[in-house]
């Protein structure tokens, strides 16, 4: 039956694809043929929209050409020039939104990793109810995102929200803070995004901790290392590979996050909470300026890829040996 399946798949794969695999073994060629439909679907779902988005960024696709986009005039880099020019309306708001996005990203990634590491270290200890604790830790991550954000929205309310009530109860504030409007809105979206994603970082780091050989700690203890010494010279270096993955993915996911700012602050927040994804959405779909919106999306995509490349090349380059994962 396996041979019949192989022959059937071979007939279905184009000859030019088979010609590209002349030096591979039969099993490897068969595996590639099985993966080909998945690669094609990935190309259609992921790469084709990216190519289409870059194309739109070079044309004047606005309200006049939405119904006949194929006639939209090609303007070259004019959209990018408007975005990069701080003297234009769109340029000034773009740079403001980009600054807030970077603040949101740095604050969120630091919070997610710090809380995740602290939780992982706690879960790595032996205590009663450990299984239940591991399950409860996952709740913020597996809960529906919109439900979680709406719950936080109620907690952040000025007069009836739990956050202001707790702060007043412990004497940290006298009145009420406006969390969802004004300069504190960036803190609100950072807190919610951190709360949603630190469980994922905790589980990843917990898996890394479980993979660290126990004899390394025993040898360090024999050499007189204390808790801090073992954490600094054994735990953190061994967690470096998984830490790189966490930071890399969280940077990209935070840069392109739309759900938390949109649901928590609405479509038109104050400048403090106007991250780039919200600004792009508003400018493209409110002003019907899809060419400029696509240009800003392309810039954000390139920024995310550059940051990921720099972090990956600087931190990982030749340093994966001996890691926990």
In this predicted structure, what is the pLDDT of residue 35?
A: 83
Residue 67 lies in a domain: no
pLDDT above 90 coverage of the chain, percent: 21
Residues 32 and 127 in one domain: no
Residues 53 and 158 in one domain: no
Establish how many alpha carbons lie within 13 A of residue 17's alpha carbon, considering only the half-sphere containing its beta carbon.
Answer: 17
Residue pair 238/325 in contact (Cβ under 8 Å)? The answer is: no
Residues 253 and 187 in one domain: yes
In this predicted structure, what is the pLDDT of residue 265?
A: 87
Residue 220 lies in a domain: yes
Residues 179 and 106 in one domain: yes
Would you call 74 helix, strand, or coil by DSSP?
A: strand
In this predicted structure, what is the pLDDT of residue 300?
A: 86
Domain count, the chain: 2
Q: Which of 212, 265, 269 is nearest to 242 (CA)?
A: 212
Highest mean pLDDT among 187-201, 242-256, 283-297: 187-201
CATH number at residue 314: 1.10.3720.10
In this predicted structure, what is the pLDDT of residue 260?
A: 92
Residues 251-278, mean pLDDT to the nearest whole number = 85
Residues 35 and 163 in one domain: no
In this predicted structure, what is the pLDDT of residue 116?
A: 95
Cβ-Cβ contacts under 8 Å for 147 (sequence gap 6 or more): none
What is the pTM (predicted TM-score) of this model?
0.80
Residues 38 and 95 in one domain: no
Domain containing residue 146: 91-321
Q: Which residues pair with 74 in a beta bridge?
A: 59
Q: Which of 94-108, 121-135, 198-212 has the lowest mean pLDDT?
A: 121-135
Q: What sign for the dihedral angle of Cα 157, 159, 161, 164?
A: positive
Residues 54 and 96 in one domain: no
Residue 19 lies in a domain: no
Could you tell me the pLDDT band of residue 322, with boundaries at 50, 70 and 90? very low
- pLDDT tens digits for 62-98? 777 777 777 778 888 888 998 898 888 888 889 999 8
Highest mean pLDDT among 14-18, 157-161, 262-266: 262-266
* Mean pLDDT computed over every residue of the chain: 82
In this predicted structure, what is the pLDDT of residue 320?
A: 47
In this predicted structure, what is the pLDDT of residue 325?
A: 42
Residue 111 lies in a domain: yes
Residues 212 and 313 in one domain: yes
Residues 54 and 181 in one domain: no
Residue pair 190/108 in contact (Cβ under 8 Å)? The answer is: yes
Residues 54 and 165 in one domain: no
In this predicted structure, what is the pLDDT of residue 30?
A: 77
């Amino acid at each position: 039956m396996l041979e019949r399946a192989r022959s059937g798949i071979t007939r279905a794969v184009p000859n030019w694809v088979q010609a590209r695999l002349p030096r591979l073994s039969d099993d490897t060629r068969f595996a590639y043929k099985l993966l080909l439909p998945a690669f094609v679907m990935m190309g259609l779902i992921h790469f084709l929209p990216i190519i289409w988005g870059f194309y739109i960024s070079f044309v004047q696709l606005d309200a006049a050409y939405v119904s006949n986009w194929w006639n939209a005039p090609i303007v070259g880099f004019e959209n990018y020039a408007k975005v990069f020019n701080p003297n234009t309306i769109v340029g000034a708001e773009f740079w403001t939104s980009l600054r807030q996005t970077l603040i949101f990203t740095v604050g969120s990634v630091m919070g997610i990793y710090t809380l995740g590491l602290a939780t992982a270290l706690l879960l790595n200890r032996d205590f009663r109810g450990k299984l239940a604790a591991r399950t409860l830790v996952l709740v913020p991550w597996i809960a529906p995102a919109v439900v979680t954000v709406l719950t936080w929205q109620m907690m952040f309310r000025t007069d009836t929200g739990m956050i202001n009530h707790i702060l007043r109860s412990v004497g940290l504030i006298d009145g009420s803070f406006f969390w969802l409007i004004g300069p504190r809105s960036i803190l609100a979206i950072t807190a919610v995004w951190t709360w949603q994603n630190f469980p994922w970082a905790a589980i990843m780091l917990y898996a890394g901790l479980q993979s660290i050989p126990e004899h390394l700690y025993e040898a360090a203890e024999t050499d007189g290392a204390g808790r801090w010494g073992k954490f600094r010279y054994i735990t953190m270096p061994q967690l470096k590979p998984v830490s790189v993955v966490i930071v890399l993915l969280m940077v990209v996911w935070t840069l392109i996050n739309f759900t938390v700012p949109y649901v928590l602050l609405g479509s038109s927040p104050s400048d403090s909470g106007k991250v780039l994804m919200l600004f792009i959405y508003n400018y493209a779909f409110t002003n019907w300026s899809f060419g400029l919106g696509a240009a800003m999306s392309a810039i954000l995509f390139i920024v995310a890829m550059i940051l990921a490349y720099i972090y990956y090349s600087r931190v990982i380059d030749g340093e994966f040996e001996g890691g926990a994962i």
